């Protein structure tokens, strides 16, 4: 009788735990599971294979696309998912971000996206897809940076409010050409659409993949509606310290970086994912911090706006790893989300 009672109580305990998990918030494993379901549905080109809410909203490169029967974008041409998978989980807000390599029509592309989960349904999908990638630009994405996968020591953590403040402060530093507005790790580096654009050196797991005579970074995407390509590499992407480009004044050609949204905050790992829109009026000259006038480093005569998803790894209250994935849209267009 006593054994039966113990077994019964134990069984009820497990049932209670399971029920509590089902009723509670979606944890990291749960959130990552939704990403995987979503990606598998996209590979199958079958929206019924993912748990979408009836009113789920999907945007790709800031453009609304119906999920009822997608006829454009990645949903129609997604062919396979690569091994590179980076997840950012925010159980408190029920949101999860993902950056990975995919193939669209057999060609490599970078996908950066955010899912919002409510009542175990996907209600929001915000995605940015960078197409026409080449192996020359993808060597930095053969391995996920280790720091993006590590939980921080409690002593290295800051509040979610501070994580969001530092992330948004990075863009204030760019606009004001003043790197002192935020704190930087000595190990800071930046990747943009797979290109190494800032930082004196890369983490060893990335540096190990660097090919000999790796090409200098450059923007090759076309400005929407213009058909014109951007100019060759400039001092804006000289791989100096993360602070150097900001303080140099070369980014004075940026009119504003608005809106600045940071919807996903991973407190455990010290990572944020947000979308920030860079607005370029296409000026041909800029005023440098010393008062001199110099030719714009890029986008001269090419007004455009760039919705860029940016990930920041913030360790000990200092920005360490920066990963940007962005596209070029028409001038004064926004991210598609408020």
Per-residue pLDDT at 2 exceeds 70: no
Last residue of a domain, one of 96, 130, 164: 130
Where does the pLDDT of residue 1 fall: very low under 50, low under 70, confident under 90, or very high at 90 and above?
A: very low
Residues 6 or more apart whose Cβ sits within 8 Å of residue 190? 196, 197, 198, 199, 242, 322, 323, 324
Q: Let me know whether 118 and 84 are in one domain.
A: yes
Q: Let me know whether 219 and 70 are in one domain.
A: no
pLDDT, residue 236, reads 60
Per-residue pLDDT at 100 exceeds 80: yes
Last residue of a domain, one of 130, 150, 180: 130
Burial class, 264, CB count within 10 angstroms (exposed 0-12 / middle 13-18 / buried 19+): buried
pLDDT, residue 22, reads 45
Q: Let me know whether 178 and 297 are in one domain.
A: yes
Residue 273 lies in a domain: yes
**pTM for the full model?**
0.87
Per-residue pLDDT at 290 exceeds 60: yes
Per-residue pLDDT at 116 exceeds 50: yes
Handedness of CA 150, 209, 237, 310 (dihedral sign): negative
Identify whether the C-beta of residue 174 lies closer than 8 Å to the C-beta of residue 190.
no
3-10 average pLDDT score: 38
Per-residue pLDDT at 6 exceeds 60: no
Beta bridge partners of 310: 274, 324
Residue 198 lies in a domain: yes
90-95 average pLDDT score: 98
Residue 136 lies in a domain: no
Over residues 126-176, the pLDDT tens digits come to 999 999 888 777 999 999 999 999 999 999 999 999 999 999 999 999 999
Residue 250 lies in a domain: yes
Q: Let me know whether 155 and 208 are in one domain.
A: yes
Over residues 223-271, the pLDDT tens digits come to 444 443 444 445 566 678 999 999 999 999 999 999 999 999 999 999 9
Average pLDDT across the chain, whole number: 88
Q: Let me know whether 93 and 167 are in one domain.
A: no
In the chain, pLDDT over 90 holds for what percent of residues? 79
Q: Let me know whether 149 and 117 are in one domain.
A: no
13-42 average pLDDT score: 73
Q: Let me know whether 312 and 199 are in one domain.
A: yes
Q: Let me know whether 285 and 241 are in one domain.
A: yes
Q: Let me know whether 180 and 312 are in one domain.
A: yes
Distance CA 125, CA 59 (A): 6
316 phi-psi bin (left φ>0, alpha ψ -120 to 50, beta other): left
Residue 5 lies in a domain: no
In the chain, pLDDT over 70 holds for what percent of residues? 86
Identify whether the C-beta of residue 294 lies closer than 8 Å to the C-beta of residue 338.
no
Where does the pLDDT of residue 19 fall: very low under 50, low under 70, confident under 90, or very high at 90 and above?
A: very low
Per-residue pLDDT at 201 exceeds 50: yes
pLDDT, residue 227, reads 42
pLDDT, residue 135, reads 74
311-333 average pLDDT score: 97
Per-residue pLDDT at 33 exceeds 70: yes
Residue 3 lies in a domain: no
Per-residue pLDDT at 57 exceeds 90: yes
CATH number at residue 68: 3.10.450.50
Residue 271 lies in a domain: yes
H helices, E strands: number in the chain: 7, 14
- Residue 35's domain spans which residues? 28-130
Q: Let me know whether 189 and 218 are in one domain.
A: yes
pLDDT, residue 202, reads 96
331-335 average pLDDT score: 94
Residue 72 lies in a domain: yes
177-200 average pLDDT score: 95
Domain count, the chain: 2
Last residue of a domain, one of 80, 97, 130: 130
Q: Let me know whether 301 and 222 are in one domain.
A: yes
Q: Let me know whether 125 and 254 are in one domain.
A: no
Q: What is the DSSP string of 18-46?
A: HHHHHHS---HHHHHHHHHHHHHHHHHT-
pLDDT, residue 25, reads 84
């Amino acid at each position: 009788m006593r054994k039966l009672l113990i077994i019964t109580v134990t069984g009820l305990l497990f049932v209670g735990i399971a029920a509590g998990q089902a009723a509670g918030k979606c944890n990291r494993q749960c959130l990552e599971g939704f990403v995987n379901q979503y990606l598998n549905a996209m590979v199958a080109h079958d929206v019924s294979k993912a748990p979408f809410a009836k009113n789920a909203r999907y945007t790709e490169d800031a453009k609304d696309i119906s999920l009822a029967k997608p006829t454009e974008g990645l949903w129609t041409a997604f062919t396979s998912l690569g091994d590179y998978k980076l997840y950012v989980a925010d159980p408190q807000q029920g949101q999860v971000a993902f950056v990975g390599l995919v193939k669209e029509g057999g060609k490599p592309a970078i996908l950066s996206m955010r899912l919002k989960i409510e009542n175990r349904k996907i209600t929001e999908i915000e995605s940015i897809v960078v197409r026409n990638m080449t192996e020359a630009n993808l060597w930095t994405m053969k391995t996920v940076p280790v720091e993006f996968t590590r939980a921080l020591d409690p002593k290295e953590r800051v509040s979610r409010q501070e994580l969001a403040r530092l992330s948004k402060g990075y863009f204030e530093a760019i606009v004001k050409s003043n790197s002192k507005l935020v704190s930087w790790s000595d190990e800071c580096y930046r990747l943009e659409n797979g290109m190494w654009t800032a930082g004196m050196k890369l983490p060893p797991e990335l540096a190990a993949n660097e090919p000999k005579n790796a090409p200098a970074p450059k923007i090759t995407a076309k400005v929407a509606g213009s058909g014109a390509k951007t100019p060759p590499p400039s001092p804006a992407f000289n791989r100096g310290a993360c602070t150097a480009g900001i303080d140099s004044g070369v980014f004075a050609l940026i009119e504003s970086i608005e809106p600045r949204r940071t919807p996903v905050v991973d407190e455990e790992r010290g990572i944020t994912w947000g979308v920030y829109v860079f607005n370029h009026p296409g000026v041909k000259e800029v005023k440098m911090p010393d008062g001199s006038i110099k030719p714009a480093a890029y986008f001269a005569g090419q007004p455009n706006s760039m919705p860029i998803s940016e990930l920041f790894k913030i360790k000990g209250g200092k920005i360490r790893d920066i990963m940007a994935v962005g596209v070029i849209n028409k001038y004064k267009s926004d991210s598609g989300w408020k």
